[in-house]
Amino acid sequence: MTLAYHRAMSRVDPGRLLRSIAIIAPALLVATMLVVLLQDVLGVARPSAVYLLAVVVSALLAGTVGAIAASIGSVLLFDYLVVEPRWTLMVTESEVWLSLLILLFVGIVVGHLAALQRRWTETARTREREAAVLFELGHVLSGQPTITEGMRAVVGFLVAETGMRRVWVTLGDGTSGERAAVDTGDGPRPVAGMMHQLVRTSEDVGPGWLRVHQPWVGPRPPAGTEVFRVRIESGGEKLGSIWALRDHRSGEPDASGTRLLAAAADHLAQALTLDHLAIGTQAGEVALQSDALRSALLQSVCHDLRTPLATIRAAAGTLRGVGSLSPEDRRESADAIDREVDHLNRVVTNMLDLGRIEAGALRAASEIVELDDIVGGTVDRLGARLGDRTVLVQLDVQPVRVDPMLLDGAVTNVLENVIKYTPPGTTVTIRAEVVDGATVRLVIQDDGPGVPAHTLDRLFDRFYRVPGRTTNARAGTGIGLAVARGLVEAMKGQVRARPGAQGGLAIELDLPAAATSSEAVGSAS
């Protein structure tokens, strides 16, 4: 059975035929009564034009077929009831024949024009509503943050607009290979052996439904329902399908509903294509960023390892040299090796910390500690590297709830940044203050040369170094402050940079404050 024949058979609507008869018969009856009244009572000769009113009414309410039926009925009734001899269809006068033929011709033409105007009006209204519905469909789809949310909104929209009992979307190529993405109902999704599948023959004919038989591959649909399927395709590629259940008594969706389902499939195809392109673009950007990060990391590590390795080699060569060395020379060489190994250890530790921070795998413990215990120990450990710099520590505040190891790492990285970018003789002030009772702000401030204001927001970026600000031969990898920020944020704190009060740079570490000092005592016990 072809699609054209199937559509022609689907147009036969007994209910519509009965409604047309119910419109035409009263219209002809009223027109006949008016004709008899005009001719027999008022003496109007040949009042056949009154039947044109019945034809127009039939055309407006029943369409072209109704107009033709009303025209033929008007001629027969006028001949049978009005034209002499009455009560017979016999016509003896040629003038009467001409009148009847003209009445029939004019009636058909007028009726057809009236029906055509009615059809145009209905089509315009239908198209207007379809345009509004399609706009709403596009708005519903585009207004969702993800493609899944968009599909979920579309299936709900289709249930409301097309009278479907249930609508779901599957993604993939082929019935057996498709996976369900969204569904307006619950329970197993039926795949009937007989379904209505949307086909598109041409733009002139428009989409239509074709009954398709296939082997059973899933649960049967509920009794009294039929399965409908609309393929989601883009550029010949099958992306999935829109499935729907509809009551058998409702029949196939009308032309408007069919076009809406087709448009929904087109919208989803476009959205899925764009989503795939976005994923591909994002993957490409991630790959480029990974390559750039890898290159920057390799370059920074190589640069920062060259100096300590050279120093260690030179010190080792001195220790291995011919002749005896004084105890002082041996101690200096050993101290140099120890110092450079400690630096290498810090570089490796920062790299590992940065990797854990980037991967989101850094987990902080929560202990109540005194700031002067942690920070004081860090300052003592870095005392030799601080050299001639003066460090003033003022940390008489309430305890904080932090991870001691992470806090030590953060403070170490900030102080190492001071060592690299400030000259000897710099004064470093480390103080703390309570902010709003829930936060302890640890401020590490120097009176060195500082940094330009426009670079403050970039100081904590990976591999960023302020150009021309190094005061010694070792510029660093540019990850120290980035690691410090990651460590503090892992402890639910915040880090920021600002110009110092007497010049230089101030780094602020906001740390969670312990509720009370008694809590610290209780925790320790």
pLDDT in tens, 96-112: 666 667 767 776 777 77
pLDDT at 524: 41
Axis crossing angle, helix 94-142 with helix 255-320, rounded to the nearest 10: 20
What is the model's pLDDT at position 523? Answer: 46
Residue 126, C-beta contacts closer than 8 angstroms, at least 6 positions apart: 255, 256
Q: What is the mean pLDDT of the chain?
A: 77
Could you identify the residue written with the tokens 């058998």?
248
Q: What percent of the chain has pLDDT over 70?
A: 77
Using alpha carbons, list the distances in angstroms from residue 450 to 135, 446, 458: 57, 8, 14
Provide Rg for the chain, Cα atoms: 44
d(CA 487, CA 485): 5
Own/partner contacts of 146-154, CB < 8 Å, gap of 24 or more, are: 147/271, 147/272, 147/275, 148/181, 148/182, 150/268, 150/271, 151/181, 151/182, 151/268, 152/182, 154/264, 154/267, 154/268
CB proximity list for 522: less than 8 A, separation 6 or greater: none
Structure token digits, residue 249 = 């008594």
Element (H, E) at 419: helix 404-421
Rounded to whole angstroms, the Cα distance separating 494 from 485 reads 7
* Whether residue 400 has pLDDT greater than 90: yes
What average pLDDT score do residues 399-418 get?
90
pLDDT class for 130, splitting at 50, 70, 90? low
Burial of 383 (0-12, 13-18, 19+ CB in 10 A): exposed
Domains of the chain in sequence order = 3-135 (no CATH), 144-280 (3.30.450.40), 362-524 (3.30.565.10)
Res. 448: pLDDT tops 60 = yes
Higher pLDDT, 399 or 72: 399
Q: Which band of pLDDT confidence, cut at 50, 70 and 90, is reported for residue 129?
A: confident
What confidence score (pLDDT) does residue 512 get?
A: 93
pLDDT at position 217: 62
- Give the CA angle between residues 391, 394, 397 to the nearest 5°: 150
Mean pLDDT calculated for residue range 142-151: 80
What would the mean pLDDT of 144-156 be, rounded to a whole number? 84
In the structure, what pLDDT confidence band is assigned to residue 323 with cuts at 50, 70 and 90? Answer: low
Query: How many Cβ atoms from other residues are within 10 Å of residue 461's Cβ?
Result: 14
* pLDDT band at residue 9 under the 50/70/90 scheme: very low
**Tally of CB atoms within 10 A around 287:** 10
Name beta bridge partners: 508.
443, 496
What is the per-residue pLDDT for 510?
Answer: 94
Distance (Å, rounded) from C-alpha 335 to C-alpha 415? 21
pLDDT at 375: 92
Taking residues 480-509, report their average pLDDT: 88
Residues sharing a CB contact under 8 Å with residue 504, sequence separation 6 or more, in sequence order:
422, 426, 445, 446, 447, 448, 449, 450
Strands (E), 285-394: 367-369, 390-394
pLDDT for 476 equals 57
- Res 521 pLDDT > 50: no
- Is the confidence at residue 270, as pLDDT, over 80? yes
Q: What is the pLDDT of residue 118?
A: 74
Here the tokens at position 367 are 């202990």
pLDDT beyond 80 at 249: yes
d(C-alpha 169, C-alpha 482), whole Å: 45
Q: How far is CA 243 from the centre of its chain?
A: 22
Output DSSP code: residue 223.
T
Quickly state the pLDDT bin for 525 (edges 50, 70, 90). Answer: very low
User: 89-93, 303-307, 390-394, 453-457: which range is least confident on average?
Assistant: 303-307
Angle at Cα 448 formed by Cα 498 and Cα 477, nearest 5°? 75
Distance CA 119, CA 293 (A): 66
Confidence of residue 293 (pLDDT cuts 50, 70, 90): low
